[in-house]
Structure 1
Amino acid sequence: MKDALHNIYRNQSLIYKTFLFICATALVVYLFPKAGKFKYEFQKGKPWQYENLYAPFDFPILKTEKEIEEEKAAVKAGFVPYYSYNANMISTVISNYKTEYPKVFQNKNLERAGQEFLTRIYTDGVIADDEPLPDSRFINLVKGNEVSTLAKDKLIRMKDLEKALFHYLEQRKLSAFQKDFYLLFESIVQPNVSQNKELSDKALKEELDNIYTTKGTVERGKRIILNGEVVEGEKYEILHSLKREYESHLWKGTNYYWILFGYIILVTLTFIMLFLFLRKYRPQILQDNTKVTFIFVNIIVMVFVTTIAVKYDGAYVYMVPLCILPIILKAFFDPRLGLFVHVLTVLLLGFIVPNSFEYIFLQIIAGMVTILTVSELYRRANLFVSVGQITLVYMITYFAFTVIHEGNLDNILWLNFGLFVLNGLATLFAQPLIYIYEKLFGLVSDVSLLELSDTNSRLLKELSDKAPGTFHHSLQVANLAEAAANEVGANAMLVRVGAMYHDIGKMNNAIYFTENQTTGVNPHDEISPEESARIIINHVLDGIEIARKNNLPDRIIDFIRTHHGTSTVYYFYKKQLENDPDANIEDYRYPGPIPFSKETAIVMMSDAVEAASKSLKNPNYGAINDFVEKIISKQIEGGQFLNANITFKEIESVKKVLKQKLTNIYHLRVEYPE
């Protein structure tokens, strides 16, 4: 049991990556559309490039979206809405009429005429002025449980009551009583017909649902298209119908599991390629679980966002800012990794998006432009310029595809150009997203490095106040290391910032370091060499502690930990040997670790050379050349660069830069006359 737990602990990084691999694969496959892929690619107006195609099974010919919309519009235009008829209203109105009639008329003979008029208008119905009527000629009138079709002009509007009354009285030769009757009817006549919106909506929905989405069938074995025939007209509609039926037909029965198995294999291969790339070209990233997780999270986010866009509307895939992916990966890692991950992600998205070839071509070209143009993100204008170039490439590529497919500009979708503009605007979100990722994953981008390099930052101001000599030394080391990093292709910004903070631990005991001694009094003279060595060595541990309290990124703390490697405080060791020949050299050795990157190795060399250069009595080119060779050769002999990915050729380039820079610093000036 103990051995098993030990093996788990020893291989915890591998176990985590395996778990991450399985989870990422499962999540991406889950996001994939639940439909098979038609094995033929075809485009309207282009020749059929495959063998003669015959119907593999019976399938219906689907109507086009335009045809369905036209039928729906025809149904809506010819739809007869429903109106409810209130039969109780007539008895109420006549009752009120009999009550009010004696108050207006004394002639009993006229009462029957008025009642007859009310019966006539309520036979078809009275409708309120604000009640809507359809454009169609007829309505469906619901009386109890019966429905009858009625011409809408037979309904009496309240505003037309006077006209209908006057016409009726003229026919009865009772025009003399028009005003009196109207005053009476105006107060008692009430609408009894109203729109039944619920029943109308239900009936309309049923009619729309009954629209057939097909227009015939193709029987199994029937020839669909011959090799070389142009895909257009009815042939295009049949091929499109076959594709839809084929894709839905595949996800039935055991086919579901086979297709799912195929998806798993392809996604697994994609992620294996990513791991192989990291193993061969970026082993330091592969060893860092946080960085590997970061890469997978970005891939999954892009797949998720694209899936949502496709489900909502296929055209919206052009609005998904996929170029954010290479921008972010380039900001945190390097362009080569950014482009590789971008290409793998685009290949995965090919299973999701419509017109996959066009999409893959478009996004890969855009990704290449992103990698080639986006640089120095800490300069705000650079991102805007790059996004403009990316958007332009999107538009040009889409325009070219449209011209190829259509042969003209008649059917170009100008809306997609607007989507590309929105894509560019969304890509600008890369800046705040980089900041969010820095906080979530503890990574460092060039933007953060630029902020850390500000000498007015609180920590560097404190270093300047407490240890001004160390601060000046750090600036000199930063200048030397940055120049060397540029020469060998290392991250110059990271090197500069690491050099500026590498000695912050000296603030705790600044007076014990010679660059801060201004009075000529050396406190080491009052203590033993062993205690002096401990104070000198502790500045590394103190620096790490100060850095963590001030939330410096781990990539900067690495420079503090490694800038002396496992070298010794040789001066105090030699001094101790004079008093104690049996002194243990390990008590005078820095705790390490040794540099494990090109950048930390450059800072180690620059720090040692800059500090030792202060002891040169005659700093001419020959002396500088000899002492640089001596110091760096001693570091190589001590195995300080065994873990750093720096070559002997690059070390020679670093030496050359250091010699040149120190020569420029210590060059002799002409003596000015008094």
Structure 2
Amino acid sequence: MKDLFSFFAKNQSLIYKVFLFIVSTLLLIYLLPKGGQFKYNFQKGKPWQYENLYAPFSFSIKKSDETIKKEQQEIRVNSIPYFDFNTEIIQDVSEKFRNDVEKKYIDSLYTTSKTVVARLGERIIKDIYENGVSDEIHPFEKDKLIYLKRGNEIEERTYSQLFNKENLNKKVREIVEKNNTVDVQPLLYTLLNEAISPNVSLNTKLTEASINAELKALNPNRGVIEKGGRIIAKGEVVEGGKFQILESLKAEYQSQIWSKNNYLWLLVGYSLLVSLVFLMLFLFLKKNRPEIYHNNTKVTFIFFNIFLMVFLTTLIVNVHADYVYVVPICILPLILKAFFDPRLGLFVHVLTVLLLGFIVPNSFEYMFLQFIAGIVTILTVSELYKRANLFISVGQITLVYVVGYFAFYVIQEGNVQTLPIENFGYFFLCGLATLFAHPLIYFYEKIFGLVSDVSLLELSDTNSKLLKELSNKAPGTFHHSLNVANLAEASANEIGANSMLVRVGALYHDIGKMHNPTMFTENQVNSINSHDEMDPKESAQIIIDHVIKGIEIARKNNLPDRIIDFIRTHHGTTLVYYFYAKERELQGTADKEDFLYPGPIPFSKETAILMMADSVEAASKSLKEPSSTIIDEFVEKIINNQMDQGQFLNADITFKEIQLIKKVLKKKLNNIFHLRVEYPE
């Protein structure tokens, strides 16, 4: 039991990675579509690249989505609407009309008798209610066939046969002129207009039920291909009916292969493919980014982002596949570049898009566009802390999407007449969603404890609490840090390293000197040196301790680990040579172990640059009469000595880059120490 516990304790990092690998694989398999993959790849408008294809089984030819939508529209247009006919209203109308005649007819005003007026009104009411009265407005043609429902009976009518109250005046005029009773036309119109009420209304429920029944009965197939029948010949262009037959075969193949018998084998296949993708990611991290590989938080962060992109894409595809390009996949390389580096960002982006190829329709087009967009993201987004850069990059990414989609459409359709303009809106929505990278980066920093260039910009503010404390307690060290920051930033720009990171690291690398500032010469205001009265070993320990104290202060002030790395490594495992030599002079011998910094040595280009810039800037204060030759020899000597001690073995930095850094440091020091013109007093 004890051995088992010891094994887990020693290998907890590896065990966690295995656990993460298994969980991520299972989650992705769950999200992948539950269907087999068709073994042929084809595109509309492209030649069939395989041998002649014969039907492996009998299957129905599916109608295209456009055809089905067109037929559904035709059903809706040609459907016969149902109208309800209310017979009770007619009796109420007749009764009201008769009552109104009794009340409002005055014998002295009209030559036509009351009896005739009542008879004419009854006749008009009978005529207009024969087919019913409606005051509803519908977009039907006049000759549109309708069903009129009277109780349990249904009669066929045309829409124009329904009487509209607007035609009442015309109807009254026709009747009175025919019966020579024009004098009562105004009275008759007024009485009927007040009495008549609509008794016909559209039965929406019955009409929709009828339409739905027809839609349900719509046949989604347009024919059958028998087993063994030739589908397409090699070299034949995939278009029109051939394309639809292939799409039907693909759908049938996928539905048949995902059966209970094949379920286990399909899971095995998916498991192997997803595992290969994640295995490639682990191998890349272990070989090329060991500092990330050994940090479980960073590995979890990468896997979380991959899963997030797959989950969002799956969600959108299930809702509506046309919206798949709205998912801002380019946020993935953009964020990984902000926290790590461009190469890792692009590698993870490629692996993620490969996984998404199982999920999205028209996967070749999708993957091509996403690969190109990812490359553009990596090549264009620089210095994310500058807001304008993100907007410019998003514009370029959107343009790539639009141009790429247009090119694919032209290849497939051969024209632009039917180009769906609304699809370009999805790319603009994707661009807007990509702008969400800034708040997302802030969120990730708080959750995973990472640091981006945006946070580095905030840390570089010399008015921050910690740097102000440094300038007050150790002004000489603060001035030295500013000079080192300028030298290191210029060097980083020269070799393409992260200049913002190395500048911030330089500003904070000596904060440990705040603990005992007067023990460091740059903070001594007079000629008295406290070390003159101390044992060399004790003095060396005080100098060495500023690294340990710096780490403690940094952690207390919640500085990111990436900045603490500069504090830990800026002296590497070098020797405090002055006090080592002094001890040897006094004692005749000295143990180097007592005068060595604890390390570790620099493990990135940025930490290596800081070591060079710090050593050169600090030692340059000892130059008595600096000249261009002296400065050149001085820089060469210091950096060559660091190389001889193996301080840059883990820094992933080349000889060429070191030479470029030397060149920058020499130029900068020459500018600092250049001779000034002596002005007469």
TM-score range, shorter chain: 0.7 to 0.9
- Aligned equivalent of 1:247: 254
* Equivalent runs, 1:38-437 vs 2, <5 Å: 38-104=38-104, 109-110=115-116, 114-115=121-122, 117-128=124-135, 130-132=136-138, 134-135=140-141, 136-168=143-175, 177-437=184-444
Post-superposition shift, 1:272?
0.9
Q: Is the 8 A contact 2:608 2:651 kept in 1?
A: yes
- Aligned-pair RMSD on alpha carbons? 3.9
Post-superposition shift, 1:556?
0.6
Q: Is the 8 A contact 1:132 1:195 kept in 2?
A: no
Counterpart-to-counterpart distance in 2, 1:647 and 1:542: 32
Alpha-carbon deviations, 1:151-187, whole Å to 9, x = none? 3333332333344345445556655554444443333
Q: 1:170 to 1:664 in 2, by over 3 A?
A: closer
Q: 1:47 to 1:113 in 2, by over 3 A?
A: same
* Equivalent runs, 1:474-623 vs 2, <5 Å: 474-485=481-492, 490-523=497-530, 535-565=542-572, 592-617=599-624
Answer with 501-510 or 156-165: which moved more. Answer: 156-165
Counterpart-to-counterpart distance in 1, 2:409 and 2:533: 84
Post-superposition shift, 1:572?
6.3
Q: 1:455 to 1:146 in 2, by over 3 A?
A: same
Post-superposition shift, 1:63?
2.2
Counterpart-to-counterpart distance in 2, 1:635 and 1:533: 19
Alpha-carbon deviations, 1:353-385, whole Å to 9, x = none? 333223323332333333333333344444444
Task: Tell me the SS of whatever aligns to 2:516.
Answer: helix
Counterpart-to-counterpart distance in 1, 2:537 and 2:67: 93
Q: 1:56 to 1:523 in 2, by over 3 A?
A: same
Alpha-carbon deviations, 1:499-531, whole Å to 9, x = none? 221112223432332211113344556877777
Q: 1:156 to 1:347 in 2, by over 3 A?
A: same
Counterpart-to-counterpart distance in 2, 1:624 and 1:174: 124
Post-superposition shift, 1:551?
3.3
Q: 1:145 to 1:253 in 2, by over 3 A?
A: farther
Post-superposition shift, 1:103?
3.0
Post-superposition shift, 1:50?
1.9
Post-superposition shift, 1:40?
2.0
Post-superposition shift, 1:473?
1.4
Counterpart-to-counterpart distance in 1, 2:444 and 2:524: 43
Post-superposition shift, 1:258?
2.9
Answer with 599-608 or 285-294: which moved more. Answer: 599-608
Answer with 201-210 or 100-109: which moved more. Answer: 100-109
TM-score when scaled to structure 1? 0.86
Task: Tell me the SS of whatever aligns to 1:520.
Answer: coil
Counterpart-to-counterpart distance in 2, 1:137 and 1:643: 84
Answer with 172-181 or 365-374: which moved more. Answer: 172-181
Answer with 586-595 or 192-201: which moved more. Answer: 586-595
1:468 paired residue among 460, 470, 475 = 475
Post-superposition shift, 1:249?
2.9
Task: Tell me the SS of whatever aligns to 1:156.
Answer: coil
Amino acid at match of 2:472: D
Amino acid at match of 1:31: L
Counterpart-to-counterpart distance in 2, 1:43 and 1:331: 37
Answer with 534-543 or 340-349: which moved more. Answer: 534-543
Task: Tell me the SS of whatever aligns to 2:231.
Answer: strand
Answer with 163-172 or 224-233: which moved more. Answer: 163-172
Q: Is the 8 A contact 1:29 1:267 kept in 2?
A: yes
Counterpart-to-counterpart distance in 2, 1:38 and 1:206: 34
Post-superposition shift, 1:464?
2.3
Q: Is the 8 A contact 1:484 1:602 kept in 2?
A: yes
Post-superposition shift, 1:568?
6.5
Counterpart-to-counterpart distance in 2, 1:658 and 1:171: 113
Amino acid at match of 1:44: K
Amino acid at match of 1:92: D
Task: Tell me the SS of whatever aligns to 2:201.
Answer: strand
Counterpart-to-counterpart distance in 1, 2:495 and 2:97: 106
Answer with 363-372 or 343-352: which moved more. Answer: 363-372
**What is the identity percentage for the equivalent residue pairs of Structure 1 and Structure 2?**
61
Q: 1:384 to 1:193 in 2, by over 3 A?
A: closer
Counterpart-to-counterpart distance in 1, 2:205 and 2:290: 67
Amino acid at match of 1:218: I
Post-superposition shift, 1:648?
7.7
Amino acid at match of 2:252: E
Post-superposition shift, 1:276?
1.0
For this pair of structures, how many residues does the alignment match? 673
Q: Does 1:6 align with 2:13?
A: no
Amino acid at match of 1:377: L
Amino acid at match of 2:82: Y
TM-score when scaled to structure 2? 0.85
Post-superposition shift, 1:558?
1.5
Post-superposition shift, 1:478?
2.6
Post-superposition shift, 1:659?
6.3
Alpha-carbon deviations, 1:199-246, whole Å to 9, x = none? 222222222332222222222222222223333333333222222322
Q: Does 1:31 align with 2:31?
A: yes
Q: Is the 8 A contact 1:378 1:446 kept in 2?
A: yes
Post-superposition shift, 1:286?
0.8
Q: Is the 8 A contact 2:45 2:411 kept in 1?
A: no
Post-superposition shift, 1:340?
1.7
Counterpart-to-counterpart distance in 2, 1:163 and 1:660: 101
Q: 1:175 to 1:650 in 2, by over 3 A?
A: closer
Counterpart-to-counterpart distance in 2, 1:183 and 1:415: 54
* Equivalent runs, 1:617-632 vs 2, <5 Å: 617=624
Counterpart-to-counterpart distance in 1, 2:77 and 2:674: 93
Q: 1:284 to 1:198 in 2, by over 3 A?
A: same
* Equivalent runs, 1:445-460 vs 2, <5 Å: 445-460=452-467
Post-superposition shift, 1:304?
2.9
Q: Structure 1: which 5+ residue stretches go unaligned?
A: none
Q: 1:355 to 1:226 in 2, by over 3 A?
A: same
Q: Is the 8 A contact 1:131 1:194 kept in 2?
A: no
Q: Structure 2: which 5+ residue stretches go unaligned?
A: 108-112
Task: Tell me the SS of whatever aligns to 1:150.
Answer: strand
Alpha-carbon deviations, 1:414-471, whole Å to 9, x = none? 4445544544454444444434433333323334334433434443333223322111
Q: Is the 8 A contact 1:328 1:430 kept in 2?
A: yes
Answer with 287-296 or 589-598: which moved more. Answer: 589-598
